[in-house]
Amino acid sequence: MKCTVCRAWMTSGKCHLCEQPMKASEIAALVNGKLYGVDKSALGFTAANRARAINLTFCSDPSGLKNTQSEIVLSTIGSHNAAQTGQTVIEVENPKAAFAQALRTKAPATVPKIFADAVINSKYVSIGRNVVIKPLAVIGYEGFGFEPTGSGYEIFPHIGGVIIEDDVFIGSCTCVNRGKLEDTVIGQGTKIDNLVHVAHNVRLGKNCIVVAHTIIGGSVTIGNGVYIAMSAIIRDHVKIGDNAFIGMGAVVTKDVEPGVTVIGNPARPYQKTVKP
């Protein structure tokens, strides 16, 4: 059932987002923002294009202020000049992050949980604290490693495991293979989306984001703070430096230096084209 005020899904007869209104001044203090306009009360949280006058929303671009019915909006620094008549604006550095911060005071927290229908080879998997592993993830089984013989192929024995550090999130239907001779490691704070393949011996750093349909080949080393966009492919044994950005659908065949953005097939460093 959906709430008639903010359209959020309700798990009981009451909407936890609308039980208690929040004053704009309270929100501004919470997110360290600057309030412009009347100190109105917000009830419920929703997207800008679906918001009603009373709902809190956010706009990452000042032009969005004129396209929402909300009268209480989190927006960027200097955007209050673009506000509609009667619109209260709370200016912050990052409106989306501030909206999430306010929403967390009302929405139920995501409880760290390993779902029962995740498939984990517990003999070879070490799991840290505050980890979420969603349904149908498969973790800790042998990777795709075969060696040719005169008459066909034989599997290469795997004697490594999987180490999942604290605060990791692993989405549904993601596969993390155990290592061949060394462990596969998912670093602290890293978040992996649904339908991702992490091959044997991969070392994923801390606080990385890996988006759906990404394939990470065997023995890839990824630094800290790396963002890998959807459907990227990273060939085996590649090294990716800290804070690199791998673009959507990129096919990475060579090492990527720290802080570099790569796009395309094969992936190359991204350079903005300046028109004459």
Domains of the chain: which residue ranges? 22-104, 119-269
Closest to 213 in 3D by CA, of 228, 226, 235, 191: 228
Whether residue 124 has pLDDT greater than 90 = yes
Tell the residue number behind the tokens 């997110």, with chain if given: 31
Per residue in 23-78, pLDDT tens? 999 999 999 999 999 999 888 888 888 888 888 999 999 989 999 999 999 999 99
Percent of the chain with pLDDT over 70: 90
State which H helix or E strand residue 36 sits in. strand 34-36
Class of domain 22-104: alpha beta
Evaluate if residue 114 carries a pLDDT over 80.
Answer: yes
Of 16, 200, 213, 237, the active-site residue reads 200
What was the pLDDT predicted at 274?
46
For residue 177, pLDDT beyond 80: yes
Query: pLDDT band for position 165 (50/70/90)?
Result: very high
For the four alpha carbons of 31, 33, 38 and 39, in that order, the dihedral sign comes to positive
16 has catalytic annotation: no
Report the mean per-residue pLDDT for the chain. Answer: 90
Name which of 70-74, 106-110, 127-131, 142-146 the model is least confident about: 106-110
Give the residue with greater pLDDT, 84 vs 191: 191
> The whole model's pTM is what?
0.81
Please provide the CATH number assigned to the domain covering 119-269: 2.160.10.10
Residue 107 pLDDT class (50, 70, 90 cuts): confident
Residue 50: its pLDDT value, please? 84
Q: Strands, DSSP E only, in 47-165? A: 56-58, 72-76, 88-92, 119-120, 125-127, 132-133, 138-139, 146-149, 152-155, 162-164
Asked if pLDDT for residue 157 goes beyond 90, the answer is no
How far apart (Å, rounded) are the C-alpha atoms in residues 271 and 18? 46
